[in-house]
Structure 1
Amino acid sequence: MSSHPGSHEDMSEENLPSERSDAHDGAVAVAEDPFADPGLPPHQPRRQDIDERAARRSERAVAFMFTLSMVATLGFIAAYSLIPPSKIVYIFPFGHVSALNFSLGWSLGVALFCIGAGAVHWARTLMSDVEMPQERHPIEAEPEVKQKVLADFRQGASESQFGRRKLIRNTMFGALAMVPLAGVVLLRDLGPMPGTSLRHTAWRKGMQLINVNTNLPLRPEDVGVGSLTFAQPPGLNDNSDDYDDVIAKAALMIVRLKPEDIKDKREADWGHEGIVAFSKICTHVGCPISLYEQQTHHVLCPCHQSTFDLSDGGRVIFGPAGHALPQLRISVNDKGYLEALGDFTEPVGPSFWERG
């Protein structure tokens, strides 16, 4: 089929270069600027920027939160000092919980939350909210840039109204200064207060040895040869607040050996007819010792396998323990009961401190 001038085919061919040219120009334009920068929206002033009364209300709100943080910190310290660790209370919906832990958690949480909430409210309502875009620059800034940063910092400090809003400034300093006191108070849980508490136990001269299982005083005939009995000072109650603190240092192992099997003379002198009393607390890290080998007179700590010879002054024969088990000097009173003749002569438990 022949083509004629002005036909559809001719018109398409004539228009094609122009269409390709337009398409090419559009593609170049898109490639040059695929996403146009819309720029920053116009700055809208906040109510606090134009109304001093609103700014005052925000200032008081921030100061209130900082003050509430200080009150919560004082509540934390008061709860730690006044609430006994054993006190259990019912709180819906948590059920029965420790009153001390609940009080400490809420008071410290409120103290920290109020500092954060106060700072956020301060920044959103009173500090400058004008956005200032800046192009990225090399890590090592030029002197001019450093000067500009310092100038911007001074400007930001001025616009934050830190110097003008003295109520916010003072309460913020108070809240930040008091919150660390909560951590300082918690240092009390690291151990007993300084003094002689680590070097002495509840044992005193004349105290009877009480069988842990029967809660009755021990007589020499209650301890058979080769047997191991556990004892504690009189007057202890499993439900008392100080039970764990006392028994952790005063727990005793009572064992009866044949007098001829005792190798250490002092051990024999400190016992009664072959009955000797040693601390039950391992001198490695303080685990309770409970495994006794009747034939060898050895006791084994189950935590790290420290082994002690009860026939030779409780000395260490294996394991990481650094000292022999402390021995308690015992005798029999006029009623026929075993009693202590004093406290241990050396510290009980872990031997990581110097024993001068």
Structure 2
Amino acid sequence: MSTEQQHVAPPEAQSPELFENPGIEEHRERLADTDPREAKRVERLIVLILTISALASIGAIVAYAVIPLDSTLGNLRYSTLFLGLGLGIGMLGIGIAAIHWAKTLMSNVEYVEERHLQRSDDETRTVAADMMKHGVEDSGIGRRPVLKGAVVGAAALAPLPILVPLIGNLGGSWDISAFRHTVWGETPEEFSGNIPGGGTGRRLALDPSDEPIMASDVTIGSVFHVIPHGLTEHEHYFEEKAKAVVILVRLDPDELQEPQEKADWSYEGIVAYSKICTHVGCPVALYEQQTHHLLCPCHQSTFDIADQARVVFGPADRPLPQLPITVDQEGYLVARSDFHEPIGPSYWEREK
């Protein structure tokens, strides 16, 4: 046979142009369709799953109410854990119950209906309405009040682990002035008067170890995530930390572009800026050493650390607030004062 000769399949092996419609597979009844006891057992199983779902949702709400959200990190972790478990098990239970119900109790008969114009005649519409009523009746929800009650109860409780903490956190002070002051402006008694020329003397410390930072330990190109020293003992630790977090960077002093009025806000090339992005408040923590740019991972706002943290890209419309720093008599980095402008998103400035 020539290599150019093509193989031709016999006629019986060639695919036909048209396939015969096989129709609908013969309906096979399930055990629950023919055995009332099996149907009742399945119903009880679904009710049990929905009950577990409802109890998980209630448990999450109880955990939120019982576990205090104070300065203890462990309490915050446990509260978040139980809220997440309650919400997850609650939603998962509803999903599993719905699938099991559909596969074992609801009608599994296939119906075929020819597609017509969108507006059918009145007789067809009446038949369609009757079919829908028949489908509801066939699902058994009307004659299974316990199952119906379990569905309604679990569905009503499932969103509460989200709504209760949300509503519970709506209280408290919404005073805009709270964002104009941080604990950097508070002077601990033990550090009072320990820096030349005066100032708060609040030491800069590593986050989260709270270890004070010596200026000699900060090398060019290094980056530190900083909190006020002693903040871990604060009554409202998480709230104050959210406002006071700082990023500390050391550059070559010759690369810094500082105006005359801020000439003493840095120390030998070490600068400190708020980590809270001035767009919507995300943490700015990605530092590019070669360009001296800080990047916000949320919406890519970019700030130039060498030039007063001015915005060079992205939606932020003002620089990061700078924390004036110096060193104390022991060589530790300290804050001269609080930030001189509100930290965080610029919309706080809409109210004075």
| 1:41-94: CA deviation from partner (whole Å, max 9, x where unpaired) | 6x868566664x66544443332221111112233445677499966xxxxxxx
Structure 1 match to 2:304:
307
* Amino acid corresponding to residue 205 of structure 1 in structure 2: E
Residue 146 of structure 1: how far off its partner (Å): 1.5
Residue 292 of structure 1: how far off its partner (Å): 8.7
Q: Tell me whether 1:112 sits opposite 2:91 in the alignment.
A: yes
2:130 match: secondary structure: helix
* Amino acid corresponding to residue 202 of structure 1 in structure 2: V
For structure 1, list consecutive stretches of 5 or more residues without a partner in the other structure.
Answer: 1-32, 88-97
Separation in 1, partners of 2:217, 2:52: 62
1:178 alignment partner, one of 147, 151, 157: 157
Structure 2 match to 1:234:
229
Separation in 1, partners of 2:345, 2:182: 14
1:306 match: secondary structure: strand
For structure 2, list consecutive stretches of 5 or more residues without a partner in the other structure.
Answer: 1-18, 189-200
1:301 match: secondary structure: strand
Separation in 2, partners of 1:242, 1:252: 18
Residue 35 of structure 1: how far off its partner (Å): 7.9
1:134 match: secondary structure: coil
Structure 1 match to 2:44:
60
| 1:203-245: CA deviation from partner (whole Å, max 9, x where unpaired) | 23214332547944769xx799x999966411256xxx96898
Contact 2:274 2:323 in 1 (8 A): no
1:210 alignment partner, one of 184, 203, 214: 203
2:123 alignment partner, one of 131, 144, 147: 144
Change (3 A) 1:243 1:160: closer
Change (3 A) 1:333 1:180: same
Separation in 1, partners of 2:247, 2:20: 84
Separation in 1, partners of 2:116, 2:265: 81
Aligned residue pairs total 295
Identity %: 25
1:157 alignment partner, one of 123, 133, 136: 136
Contact 1:309 1:317 in 2 (8 A): no
Change (3 A) 1:192 1:330: farther
1:201 alignment partner, one of 182, 185, 203: 182
Contact 2:247 2:285 in 1 (8 A): no
Larger Rg: 1
2:185 match: secondary structure: coil
Contact 1:283 1:322 in 2 (8 A): yes
Separation in 1, partners of 2:341, 2:131: 66
Return the TM-score normalized by structure 1: 0.56
Separation in 1, partners of 2:25, 2:323: 84
2:152 match: secondary structure: helix
Residue 107 of structure 1: how far off its partner (Å): 4.3
Query: How large is the RMSD of aligned CA atoms in angstroms?
Result: 5.6
Structure 2 match to 1:24:
none
Separation in 2, partners of 1:253, 1:34: 75
Contact 1:291 1:301 in 2 (8 A): yes
Structure 2 match to 1:74:
58
Structure 2 match to 1:316:
310
2:318 match: secondary structure: coil
